[in-house]
Structure 1
Amino acid sequence: MITNAYKKRYKWIVVGILTGLLATTLLGISIGYSSVSIDRIIPTLLGNGSFKDEFVLFSIRLPRMMITLLAGVGLALSGAILQGVTKNDLADPGIIGINAGAGVAITLFYLFYPLDTGIFVFILPLVAFSGAMVTALLIYAFSYERNRGIQPAKLILTGVGFSMALSGLMIVLISSSDSQKVDFIARWLAGNIWGYDWSLILSILPWFLLLVPFILYKSHQLNVLGLSEDVTIGIGVSLQKQRTLVLLAAVAIAAVSVSVTGGVAFVGLMAPHIARSLVGPRHQFFLPITMLLGGWLLLTADTIGRNVLEPDGIPAGIVVSLIGAPYFIYLLMRKP
């Protein structure tokens, strides 16, 4: 039963996260190698800024921040689904190899099928999805046991093994490439937010407009999938069909996210855990908070990373890993 006290608390949590997100956005715009002072943001948005302010805001800061927010939302949602369906608190698209599978596909495509930039950015999400899907199917096959189904511990170990192997394969692939291509893939591996262009947003936005409403629509099914298999089947839910649909959505949204941010891990691990501790396990309340936290977490990591060492900074993926790796070890030690 959802009480009035819970609804009130939920609203305050949403307001708190949105406030933090807004503050981080304003801070990110106003600091850095190229920045717009806070008192100039509103006039610039209204078309009354200088040429420099308009260029920095509309050509650099806003596209990058929107890409970062979308990617954070996607990775967090993917992690929430993976944790719920596999009943494993350690599941994350970066940890279990899905991101690395997308990375290998992007590397192969980038090295051997060169296209002009305009076409490349629109094909990139589809390429990433293809690589991630193949990897997910392989991980599923190696983790599945007849009469027992998916084994959570085996899934994590298999995924970690695939992630390491595929990351090594990417390094081998770029070892004989020219310096420009090596630089791009190296930045991708480090989780560097490499896209500053509105065309990248246009390339991934249709995926999010399709997948995010679908995932939210499936929130009730996700609640049921978190129960035991016997109970799920007993109440009339098509277990394999629903599990397959939501896992496909999780793989797709993670792949699309990392196609523009690089190999960012741990966002999909931390955001669902924090959201669950704040609002509980019901997905219809838990998923929107997870989305907001994922976007905020990655935006904060990128804001910190690009201002630590100017002008190049530290990739957001490394900043997130510095926080997420200890958190992962903590969760691992806490599990019985």
Structure 2
Amino acid sequence: MSTQRRTLVTVIVLLLLLAVIFFISVNSGLVRLTPVETVHTLLGQGTPDARLILFDIRLPRIVIALLVGAGFAVAGAIMQGVSRNALADTGLLGINAGAGLAIVLYVVFGYGKLQYAPVVALPAVAFVGAALAALFVFLLALKDGQLAPVRLVLVGIATGAGISAAMLFFTYRMNAYNYTFVKIWLTGSIWGTNWLYVQAALLWVAVLVPLAVYKGYRINLLTLGDPIATGLGVAVQRERLVLMAVAVGLAGACVAVAGSIGFVGLIAPHLARRLFPADYRLLLPGAALLGAILVLTADTIGRTMAQPVEIPVGVVVAAVGAPYFLYLLIRKP
């Protein structure tokens, strides 16, 4: 089977898998909707209660899960390509934590009540925090003008831990409602989302993911090393900054609407490399698709495994991602 045909078959299989998980997620919850009720409701023929459950509660949550999974996955793939480090991920590098701290500060000092904060402003605020954290980590990780892979991960983990401690300090200044919400949100949760959150995340993901795919060929060249990329006409520093800004923007937007869901940006790109050719123009869409499947599956499991209690999606993903990270760390020479 040719490479193109194999890639096409892989995409079709993943889309079918995503459709199955989507249908299962729509029918999962405390209030069960039969498949017939779901189809009728989607066609505009359902009862008022079914329409409320489907269109106002479940569909926004599902769409957010898809957007966040795709965004984190593409951000992680970009970071791995730009830094030439297979362990790079916005969560492990402290970038997600920086975005989270910016939102916590925004809530503490900008608004007394979280529910009054303009949702569409949250991704921009998170982008600032993520960008500052990324700048700090990359500057400290430089050694003789080059990014040291192991040093990058260690600095990122230490930075993330320090930022998390700062977030914990500022949460004590919140009222009871905000404190409870932020604690759940920081673990990685898409509970309580609505169409405003979808709009806020969609704008960033719909712009930055296609831009990343458009820049896929440049990432291919950057993975060959700076001297070769420069010889092939790539403005290395400029392209690296643009791509890092794209990754930071995606991470910030995803953290703003769903909290810090770690390991998606680590697992999805690695799975994509096993299923797709080594071309970032194909790897990035493949990683986005796999990330969407991973987060939607994790959220569905978290909603149904311990009903009526919900397990945050970040906890479910971490249960898989942490062992996988240790495997990669041990396996890496």
TM-score, normalised relative to structure 2: 0.97
1:197 counterpart = 2:178: no
Q: Relative to 1, partners in 2 of residues 1:117 and 1:178: Cα closer, same or farther, differing over 3 Å? A: closer
Structure 1 residue 218 displacement after superposition: 0.2
Q: Which residue of 2 aligns with 1:93?
A: 90
Q: Deviations over 1:268-318 (max 9, x none)?
A: 000000000111321111111111000000000000011112233100000
Alignment of 1:251-290 (within 5 A): 251-290=248-287
Contact 1:73 1:292 (C-alpha < 8 Å) held by counterparts: yes
Q: Deviations over 1:178-227 (max 9, x none)?
A: 21111111012211113421111111221122111111100100100100
Q: Which residue of 2 aligns with 1:139?
A: 137
Contact 1:224 1:232 (C-alpha < 8 Å) held by counterparts: yes
Identity over the aligned pairs, expressed in percent? Answer: 39
Number of matched pairs = 332
Structure 1 residue 119 displacement after superposition: 5.0
Gaps of 5+ in 1: none
Letter in 2 for 1:315: P
The DSSP-based 3-state class of the residue aligned with 2:37 is helix
Alignment of 1:34-49 (within 5 A): 34-49=31-46
Q: Which residue of 1 aligns with 2:314?
A: 317
Aligned mates of 1:5, 1:59 — CA distance in 2:
44
Letter in 1 for 2:272: A
Q: Which residue of 2 aligns with 1:158?
A: 155
Q: Which residue of 1 aligns with 2:53?
A: 56
Aligned mates of 2:15, 2:286 — CA distance in 1:
10
Q: Relative to 1, partners in 2 of residues 1:188 and 1:116: Cα closer, same or farther, differing over 3 Å? A: closer
Aligned mates of 1:78, 1:221 — CA distance in 2:
15
Match of 1:106 among 100, 103, 110: 103
Match of 1:240 among 237, 242, 249: 237
Aligned mates of 2:139, 2:88 — CA distance in 1:
16
Q: Which residue of 2 aligns with 1:5?
A: 2
Structure 1 residue 169 displacement after superposition: 1.1
The DSSP-based 3-state class of the residue aligned with 1:130 is helix
Structure 1 residue 36 displacement after superposition: 2.1
Q: Which residue of 2 aligns with 1:124?
A: 122
Q: Any runs of at least 4 consecutive aligned residues in structure 1 with deviations exceeding 3 A, and if so which?
A: 115-119
The DSSP-based 3-state class of the residue aligned with 1:263 is coil
Structure 1 residue 118 displacement after superposition: 6.1
Contact 2:3 2:277 (C-alpha < 8 Å) held by counterparts: no
Q: Which residue of 1 aligns with 2:171?
A: 174
Contact 1:195 1:261 (C-alpha < 8 Å) held by counterparts: no
Q: Deviations over 1:8-55 (max 9, x none)?
A: 111110111111111111111112113322122221111100111111
Q: Relative to 1, partners in 2 of residues 1:184 and 1:119: Cα closer, same or farther, differing over 3 Å? A: closer
Q: Deviations over 1:105-146 (max 9, x none)?
A: 011111221167465201111111010001011111111123
Contact 1:35 1:53 (C-alpha < 8 Å) held by counterparts: no
Contact 2:262 2:318 (C-alpha < 8 Å) held by counterparts: yes
Letter in 1 for 2:131: M
Letter in 2 for 1:160: I
Aligned mates of 1:127, 1:227 — CA distance in 2:
34
Contact 1:71 1:257 (C-alpha < 8 Å) held by counterparts: yes
Q: Which residue of 1 aligns with 2:29?
A: 32
Q: Which residue of 2 aligns with 1:305?
A: 302
Aligned mates of 1:83, 1:301 — CA distance in 2:
23
Q: Which residue of 2 aligns with 1:79?
A: 76
Letter in 2 for 1:178: N
The DSSP-based 3-state class of the residue aligned with 2:2 is helix
The DSSP-based 3-state class of the residue aligned with 1:168 is helix
